[in-house]
Amino acid sequence: MSGRGRPFVVMAIVGVMLLVACSVRTPRDGFTAARRGELANQAGTAGEQAGVQGGTATASGQASTNGGVNGAGGATSGAGGTSAGGSSGVGGPTGGSAGATSSGSTVGVTKDTITISAMAGFSGNYGAILTTIYDRGFGTWVDDVNAHGGIYGRKVVAKKVDNQDTVEGGVSACKTIQNNGSYLAVSIVGFGGADVSSADCLDRAGIPDLGLNLSGWSNRWARVYSAGDAGKQAKPMASYIRDVIGDNGRIGIIHTNDPVNNASRAGLADELHRLGMNLVHEETVSVNQASYVAPMTNMKNARVTTVALIENTNEVIGTIRDAKSIGYNPHYSGNFWVTDESSSGERALYDGIKALRNYSSTNSPGYADYVAKAKKYGHGDVITTGTAALYGIGLLAGQVLQNAGPNPTTAGLPGAIESIVNYNNGLTMTLSFGKGVKVAEVGMWPIQCCNSDNTWRGIGDPKTFF
């Protein structure tokens, strides 16, 4: 290479290494990331449907402004129904719509339809997977709701909006939503900053955004709601380690240096301190790191008895494998990496590990219900806990629409989201917003490796504290 070209190449390579070191997350764990925020559920289709039917109703109960209470009438009829398959119904929220204006004046709402937009990187690197799970999971929810009359008699029209997994794509998705006549925007997942840029843009545009798996958060956002905050998802792990795994000894955290895992690590560390547990050692690793012998040797030397794996699937596999190679076998727990896809391949490594997940397992009643519906509506060609999670997101969206009441208004939408309290649809994580709360508290599913088909086995109900 010429003397002139060489410095460029050196700087280019080193620059990329620094970028990786300081880095933006490169998601590699497949569905994991996509599931991170997905947890939501719906309060039960049946209840929802009941509300729909009854919802001709009227403004009689809708006047409640905070959505926390229902009024009489149609809104009430939707509450308390149990979702098919035994998942508990939402309990009752519901809420009245905050606004009492006529539906004719609300963007995205007509006499016969209500339109929502669902954003994800459908043309990004994970586009094929996202498209598959969206079409099967979310599509099942749309078909099911509409087959039962829609929400308050309005058919749900779901628009798939591509955020391209880029910052620019997120802004473009926001512009699309501003022009496609949507009542509600749901951000399923957005890599590469797409979720944050779209949220920021939608907030400025005055359009409420229900963001699942948001990789960032701004306190100045007024209309963005986060369901599945990474820190909130990690909090339950502290009491889980103490009371379910049964280790109140020496705890260690190994985490991948990316925004989501950093936030998750912070949430867990705070909770460990709050509970007075003994966090004795922490290690930070890079995405796709080649070896974990050094960090796990440090864990071993620190006599850590339970290691919390706040990493992506690839790093987790390497971490456990390298720990074994140095004869170190502590307890493990973790969250985001706990996918059925990886457990089928790495059963020998994972066997017996107790972890937490933001969506349920194949042995949950909600899953069986989903499977039946997916088959019923012709989406049964791909059925996984990943597609079930997308169905759960549909249920959550449906609950928000339900809470918005029979005469939904844009101004009333924040109240409809905030009235999601103690929400458990049996498929995704439990969620609690509340009046003025924009980042939901999260309840996680306890699971253990593994069922006979190598999927993770549910070992209880989702909780925020074990």
Partner 1 sequence: MPTVVLNGAFVGLVYGLLAVGLVVTYRTSRIINFAYGETGMLAAFFYFDMRLGRSTSTIQHDHGIGLALPAALLIGALIGLAMEWTIARPLRSNPTLNGMVATIGASLLFLTVATHRWGIQVRLTRPLVEGSGVRAAGLTISPSQLLIGGCALAILAALAALYRFTSLGLRFRATALNPYGAALSGINTNATSMATWAIAGALSALSAILIAPLVAPNVFFMTLLALRAFAAALVGGLTSIWGGFLAGVLLGVFEGVVAYKSPIAGVTDVIVAVSIIVLVVARPGGLVRAQY
Q: Are 96 and 405 in contact (CB under 8 A)?
A: yes
- Tokens linked to 362: 């194949």
3-class state of residue 438 by DSSP:
coil
The dihedrals phi and psi of 7, each to the nearest 5 degrees, come to -55, -35
* Least distance between partner 1 and beta carbon 349 (Å): 10
* Candidate ranges 144-152, 335-343, 394-402, 417-425; the one touching partner 1 (CB under 8 A): 335-343
Q: Are 254 and 286 in contact (CB under 8 A)?
A: no
C-alpha gyration radius of the chain: 22
- Tokens linked to 79: 């509450």
> Pattern of binders to partner 1 over 345-384, x per CB under 8 A?
xx--------------------------------------
Q: Are 298 and 323 in contact (CB under 8 A)?
A: no
* Least distance between partner 1 and beta carbon 311 (Å): 11
C-alpha dihedral (423, 464, 121, 29), degrees to nearest 10 = -140
* Least distance between partner 1 and beta carbon 162 (Å): 15
* Least distance between partner 1 and beta carbon 313 (Å): 5
Residues 287, 309, 353, 383: which binds partner 1 (CB under 8 A)? 287
* Least distance between partner 1 and beta carbon 188 (Å): 16
* Candidate ranges 154-162, 224-232, 340-348, 403-411; the one touching partner 1 (CB under 8 A): 340-348
Tokens 């043309």 belong to residue? 123
**283 lines the binding site for partner 1 (CB under 8 A):** yes
* Least distance between partner 1 and beta carbon 316 (Å): 8
Q: Which has the closest alpha carbon to 29: 311, 389, 309?
A: 311
Beta strand pairing call for 445-449 and 354-357: antiparallel
The enclosing H or E element of 224 equals strand 224-227
d(CA 40, CA 359): 8
Beta strand segments in 286-373, E: 306-310, 331-334, 354-357
**144 lines the binding site for partner 1 (CB under 8 A):** no
Pick out residues in 29-68 that bind partner 1 (CB under 8 A).
Answer: 29-31
**135 lines the binding site for partner 1 (CB under 8 A):** no
Q: Which has the closest alpha carbon to 398: 379, 373, 425, 376?
A: 425
* Least distance between partner 1 and beta carbon 319 (Å): 10
Nearer Cβ to partner 1 (18/222):
18
* Candidate ranges 217-225, 287-295, 363-371, 402-410; the one touching partner 1 (CB under 8 A): 287-295
Nearer Cβ to partner 1 (248/297):
297
Nearer Cβ to partner 1 (72/294):
294
* Least distance between partner 1 and beta carbon 34 (Å): 10
Residues 69, 100, 279, 326: which binds partner 1 (CB under 8 A)? 326
Angle at which helix 139-147 crosses helix 365-376, to 10 degrees, equals 80
By residue count, the chain amounts to: 466
Residue type, position 217, single letter = W
Nearer Cβ to partner 1 (17/459):
17
Residues 297, 363, 451, 464: which binds partner 1 (CB under 8 A)? 297
Beta strand segments in 233-275, E: 250-256
- Interacting residues toward partner 1 by CB under 8 A: 1-3, 5-6, 8-10, 13-14, 16-18, 20-22, 26-31, 125-129, 257, 282-284, 286-288, 290-291, 293-295, 297-298, 313-318, 322, 324-327, 339, 341-342, 344-346
